[in-house]
């Protein structure tokens, strides 16, 4: 299987368990790995033979900006399912990171990492 990697998609959103997270929002960062057969595109040089990763980026940004759910697990799953509906995408791995989780005395971040395949 071939892959297209897209990293560093940053967006401000309103997903979080605490009520203030859904009101004040916070920054998220997403890295994608799209499983796509790239052989035909490598020969044809035609965008129709691959997956236009701009669409995947738009899906990520739209979900982060507009979705208000409690868990980043839910947000990540929603993104994965929509990306899998894109033409030629057979597999997706998503790493969604909450860059500044509101946890006292914790300067790190939290990442959800999921892999999904088309049925």
| Residues recognised as catalytic | 98
Neighbours of 95 (CB within 10 A): 16
Answer yes or no: are the C-beta atoms of 12 and 27 closer than 8 Å.
yes
Compute the C-alpha angle 81/83/89, nearest 5°: 115
How far CA 91 is from CA of 1, 12, 96, 103, in Å, comes to 9, 26, 16, 33
What is the spatial distance between Cα 69 and Cα 67, in angstroms, rounded to a whole number?
6
């Amino acid at each position: 299987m071939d892959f297209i990697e897209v990293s560093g998609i940053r967006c401000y959103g309103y997903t979080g368990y605490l009520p203030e997270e859904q009101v004040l929002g916070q920054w998220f960062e997403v890295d994608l790995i799209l499983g796509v057969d790239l052989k035909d595109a490598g020969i044809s040089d035609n965008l129709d033979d691959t997956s236009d990763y701009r669409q995947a980026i738009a899906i990520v940004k739209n979900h982060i900006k507009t979705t208000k759910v409690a868990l980043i697990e839910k947000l990540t799953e929603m993104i994965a399912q929509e990306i899998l509906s894109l033409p030629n995408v057979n597999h997706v791995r998503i790493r969604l990171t909450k860059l500044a989780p509101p946890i006292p005395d914790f300067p790190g971040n939290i990442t959800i990492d999921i892999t999904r395949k088309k049925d």
